[in-house]
């Protein structure tokens, strides 16, 4: 069954409605709203704290072109608007890379987030993170905030661990992720990053390449690895799988499809009980 990337949660079979979101396979984006920028882009010279905060934001349903601070604000508004027309979809927003912000700026930004999403924010005290329960409560946003300031707000979740290989090749990324799998999964949400990273040495040797060409040339290997993954609560199971350029590449649909493995496994376990 092919699932829509925009309404994939509501399209999941009912057998998965009572599975914790931390055990589902969830697609994520790490485009960081900067994939379209070059050295002359205004945002690279901008002093906007708002943009730096949003550098850690990831979600799979939109890839906006960000050229100025006002457009970034509109992006969050568009997320809130999108949620109204997709009442059974849950998004996980991770705010990180918060360097240079004092407490006053943190509080101001957090206030704007709470005002924008309101009752859709799922409080950290919520212990039943299943689709069925979140739908019943009207919660649609799990907001992670990587700062000690987050402890003051019950609507904010702590930082989500992100497995980032910092490697320029698919094999380097896969080896790193497989090593982490052997160590066991973190508690709660965590992200397995498929992001490729080109350091200065690599860029100097490959001047005709870009992050886009690097990602595309390694995609086949990364894609095959994704298809082999299994969601669930097992120590080697994955949760959120994020990457770059998730619009043109079929990462979202591949990650979503992994949940069918979890459905089949759960069905087999139920049959064994009887």
Strands of the chain (E only): list them.
26-29, 91-95, 141-145, 156-157, 162-163, 191-193, 240-243
Asked if residue 244 is part of any domain, the answer here is yes
Mean pLDDT (whole number) for 228-250:
94
Contact 56, 95 (CB under 8 A): yes
Q: Treating both helix axes as pointing N-terminal to C-terminal, what angle do 211-227 and 170-183 enclose, rounded to 10 degrees?
A: 40
Contact 158, 190 (CB under 8 A): no
- Tens-digit pLDDT profile for residues 67-122: 434 455 677 888 999 999 999 999 999 988 777 788 998 999 899 999 999 999 99
Asked if residue 172 is part of any domain, the answer here is yes
Band (207; pLDDT cuts 50, 70, 90): confident
Percent of the chain with pLDDT over 70: 78
Helix H or strand E segment including 70: helix 69-85
Asked if residue 90 is part of any domain, the answer here is yes
Range of the domain at 28: 14-273
Number of domains in the chain: 1
Query: 268 vs 23, 72, 238, CA distance in Å?
Result: 17, 46, 20
Contact 27, 242 (CB under 8 A): yes
Asked if residue 8 is part of any domain, the answer here is no
Asked if residue 205 is part of any domain, the answer here is yes
Asked if residue 196 is part of any domain, the answer here is yes
Q: Is the confidence at residue 151, as pLDDT, over 50? A: yes
Question: Which pLDDT belongs to residue 72?
Answer: 52
- Tens-digit pLDDT profile for residues 37-80: 343 444 333 334 444 444 444 334 333 433 434 455 677 888 99
Task: Report pTM.
Answer: 0.81
Mean pLDDT (whole number) for 198-202:
72
Asked if residue 77 is part of any domain, the answer here is yes
Q: Is the confidence at residue 146, as pLDDT, over 60? A: yes
Asked if residue 9 is part of any domain, the answer here is no
User: What is the C-alpha to C-alpha distance for residues 59 and 6, in angstroms, rounded to an integer?
Assistant: 11
**Residue 142, domain CATH:** 3.20.20.190
Band (210; pLDDT cuts 50, 70, 90): confident
């Amino acid at each position: 069954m092919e699932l829509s990337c925009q309404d994939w949660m509501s399209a999941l079979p009912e057998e998965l409605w009572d599975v914790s979101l931390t055990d589902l396979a969830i697609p994520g984006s790490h485009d960081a709203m900067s994939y379209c920028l070059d050295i002359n882009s205004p945002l690279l010279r901008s002093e906007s704290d708002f943009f730096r905060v949003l550098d850690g934001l990831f979600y799979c349903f939109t890839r906006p072109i960000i050229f100025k601070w006002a457009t970034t604000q509109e992006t969050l508004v568009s997320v809130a608007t999108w949620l109204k027309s997709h009442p059974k979809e849950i998004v996980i927003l991770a705010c990180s890379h918060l360097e240079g912000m004092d407490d006053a700026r943190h509080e101001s930004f957090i206030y704007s987030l709470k005002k924008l999403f309101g009752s859709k924010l799922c409080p950290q005290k919520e212990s039943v993170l299943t689709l069925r329960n979140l739908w019943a409560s009207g919660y649609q946003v799990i907001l992670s905030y990587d700062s000690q300031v987050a402890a003051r707000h019950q609507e904010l979740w702590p930082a989500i661990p992100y497995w980032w290989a910092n490697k320029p090749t698919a094999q380097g990324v896969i080896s790193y992720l497989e090593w982490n799998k052997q160590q066991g999964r973190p508690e709660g949400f965590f992200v397995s990053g498929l992001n490729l990273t080109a350091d200065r040495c690599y860029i100097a040797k490959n001047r005709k390449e870009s992050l886009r060409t690097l990602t595309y040339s390694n995609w086949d290997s990364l894609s095959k690895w994704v298809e082999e993954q299994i969601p669930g609560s097992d120590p080697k199971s994955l949760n959120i799988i994020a990457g770059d350029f998730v619009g043109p590449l079929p990462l979202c649909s591949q990650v979503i499809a992994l949940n069918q493995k979890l459905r089949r496994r759960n069905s087999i376990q139920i049959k064994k009980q009887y």
